[in-house]
């Protein structure tokens, strides 16, 4: 009887060790938050640290004389903010805004601006190891705004875009 008890204790001890090892590995892996959105039928993402908030689509007021990639301005709780058409910057065909459209309020250094997207698909946290180098055949206009990585989400490639690179056009 004592042999069975001893063997059971050994098995339980091994299970505890394996569980503690798996917890340590999972905790050590660096994770990043991504806001995944769609443009046309493709998925893209911004780092969560560069997204202040996600707003439902609202009327954007056109401002004459602005570059064509600035759709206009919106009023957010008394603050007037610009809205960028990422479609125009990346050469992606635009569609008429609908109920799925969102305005992602991006922030980088001292710049805050809205970015019009077709829809926000998800806000997720992923291990940094999930991010791979972008494919070499990626369109140059998209590659210009890519942070240098992509991942797979729901069987689709997601290119991670750099809000800082998008906003650098605003200050040129």
Q: Which tens digits make up the pLDDT trace of 82-98?
A: 999 999 888 888 888 89
State residue 50's pLDDT score. Answer: 94
Q: In angstroms, rounded to a whole number, what is the distance separating the alpha carbons of residues 26 and 70?
A: 42
Q: In angstroms, rounded to a whole number, what is the distance separating the alpha carbons of residues 71 and 74?
A: 10
- The answer to whether residue 142 scores a pLDDT higher than 90 is no
Task: Tell me the pLDDT tens digit for each residue of 120-132.
Answer: 999 999 998 888 8
**Of 114, 126, 120, 159, whose CA–CA distance to 38 is shortest?**
120
Higher-confidence position of 76 and 17: 76
State residue 141's pLDDT score. Answer: 60
b/e burial code for range 132-144 (CB count within 10 A of at least 16 → b): eebeeeeeeebee
Identify the bridge partners of residue 37 per DSSP, sorted by sequence position.
Answer: 44, 120
**What is the fold, at CATH topology level, of the domain defined by 30-168?**
OB fold (Dihydrolipoamide Acetyltransferase, E2P) (2.40.50)
State residue 63's pLDDT score. Answer: 94
pLDDT band for position 137 (50/70/90)? Answer: low
- The answer to whether residue 61 scores a pLDDT higher than 60 is yes
Q: What mean pLDDT is reported for the chain?
A: 84
- The answer to whether residue 59 scores a pLDDT higher than 80 is yes
State residue 22's pLDDT score. Answer: 52
Question: pTM of the full predicted structure?
Answer: 0.77
Is the dihedral angle over the CA atoms 120, 32, 153, 170 positive or is it negative? positive
Return the percentage of the chain with pLDDT > 70, whole number: 81
pLDDT band for position 12 (50/70/90)? Answer: confident
pLDDT band for position 5 (50/70/90)? Answer: low
- Give the domain ranges of the chain: 30-168
Q: Beta-strand (E) ranges in 31-90? A: 31-39, 42-47, 51-56, 70-76, 79-85
């Amino acid at each position: 009887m004592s042999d069975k008890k001893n063997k059971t204790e050994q098995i339980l001890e091994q299970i505890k060790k394996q569980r503690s090892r798996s917890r340590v590995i999972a905790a050590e892996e660096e994770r990043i938050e991504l806001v995944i959105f769609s443009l046309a039928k493709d998925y893209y993402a911004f780092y969560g640290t560069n997204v202040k908030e996600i707003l439902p689509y609202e009327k954007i007021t056109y401002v004459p004389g602005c570059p064509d990639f600035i759709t206009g301005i919106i009023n957010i709780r008394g603050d007037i903010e610009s809205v960028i058409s990422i479609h125009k910057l990346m050469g992606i065909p635009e569609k008429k805004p609908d109920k799925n459209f969102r305005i992602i309020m991006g922030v980088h250094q001292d710049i805050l601006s809205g970015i019009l997207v077709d829809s926000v698909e998800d806000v997720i946290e992923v291990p940094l190891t999930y991010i791979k180098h972008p494919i070499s055949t990626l369109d140059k206009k998209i590659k210009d705004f890519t942070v240098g990585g992509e991942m797979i989400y729901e069987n689709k490639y997601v290119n991670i875009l750099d809000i800082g690179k998008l906003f650098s056009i605003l200050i040129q």
